[in-house]
A and B are shown apart, each in its own frame.
Chain A
Amino acid sequence: MSTFSFIEATSWQCNGCNQPLQATKVNVTYLNSVFNVELMACPKCGVILVPESLAVGKMLEVEQLLEDK
């Protein structure tokens, strides 16, 4: 079972739908690979909040991994 999560309480709301974000399992496509990640998303329109820890942290780790050595 996963021991790591990007889910955290957030005051962000979906501007278009005026809905509080909910934890949602999403597919992230990055460098031609697809990853299943749980992120905060709008339950109505599906817009996803990408937290800074994912954008500049884990993405960098994965990018380094996916680069050919």
Chain B
Amino acid sequence: MEPTCTYGPAFVTPLYEQDELSLLTGGTLRPGGLALTTEILTCCKPSPGCSVLDVGCGPGHTVALMTTDFGLRVTGLDTSAAMLAKAACLTPDANFLKGEATAIPCKSHSFEMVISECVLSLTGDIDKSLQEMFRVLRPGGLLILTDIYCKKSGLKPDLPNLRSCIGSALPLEIIEKGLYNAGFTLHTLRDRSDLLKQLAGQIIFSYGSLEKFWQLFMGAEAARRTSCALAAVSLGYYLLIAEKGVNNG
């Protein structure tokens, strides 16, 4: 049963499936868009033909980019059949799987790279998700993550029923601990909160205010509460690259 919103009409469609967010982000549904993805991939220099898993591929823009611009063999994983259908239209040559990050439906050591953008905090159990990403990577493989984080521990935004990464942002210490516990070695960690602010600023220019943007998806009172809750917490955006050591089986 879908949860319902206490403060307004039922909000049953996740934020990342809303067309309004898609239009603002060039289809990618996350801060930084494909420019950030390109920046990271250029930094990692994956060899053409390298096998990559995109965990939470959404409408598949990163899958398309990795396939066409980088010549990678890409598998997209998502929980949403609607998103997978869009992704398959965009890149018919790629493989697509429906499933959860916490139980990746792939054999161990299947991929040389795993990428997951603005998804980890939404998976419900980041420790389990990171363990799964570690399992499906080959020894020496790279994990690329971008996501929202909470700058102050213990200050999670009290949001109405909004299924979005901003409602489940975690402190960086928790994410780093999860990586370490899963077996990863952290290579690069960069703060890209500028991209989150850029997106929020673009929302103000496009919709008049953040509150009016939230009103597209929920009642006026819930939108007001959401705006107030987000103003009270400090959210950031990170990108990181971690490695599964060559001696890890």
Contacts and interface: CB of A to CB of B under 8 A. Distances in A.
A33 B216 contact: no
B200 A65 contact: yes
Interface residues of B, number: 19
Contacts of A4: 205-208, 212
Interface string A30-57: 1011111100000000000000000000
Task: Please report whether the interface of chain A is mostly helix, strand, loop or mixed according to DSSP.
Answer: mixed
Interface residues of A, number: 18
Contacts of B19: 1
Given A33-B197, A66-B197, A3 B212 contact: yes
Nearest to A63: B201
Contacts of A28: 205
B194 interface: yes
A62 B212 contact: no
A61 B198 CA distance: 13
A45 to B, nearest CB: 23
A33 B194 contact: yes
A66 B203 CA distance: 13
Nearest to A67: B197
B20 interface: yes
A35 B202 contact: yes
B204 A61 contact: yes
Interface in B194-249: 194, 197-198, 200-202, 204-209, 212, 216, 234
A62 B205 contact: yes
Given A4-B206, A4-B208, A33-B194, A66 B20 contact: no
Contact of A33 (B151, B201, B234): B201
Contacts of A3: 206-208, 212, 216
A10 interface: no
21 contacts: A1-B19, A1-B20, A1-B23, A2-B207, A3-B208, A3-B212, A4-B206, A4-B208, A33-B194, A33-B197, A33-B198, A35-B198, A35-B201, A35-B205, A36-B205, A36-B206, A58-B208, A61-B204, A65-B200, A65-B201, A65-B204
Given A2-B207, A4-B205, A35-B198, 8 more contacts: A1-B20, A4-B212, A28-B205, A33-B197, A34-B198, A36-B202, A37-B205, A66-B197
7 A-B pairs closest in CB distance: A4-B208, A2-B206, A33-B198, A62-B201, A69-B234, A35-B205, A37-B205
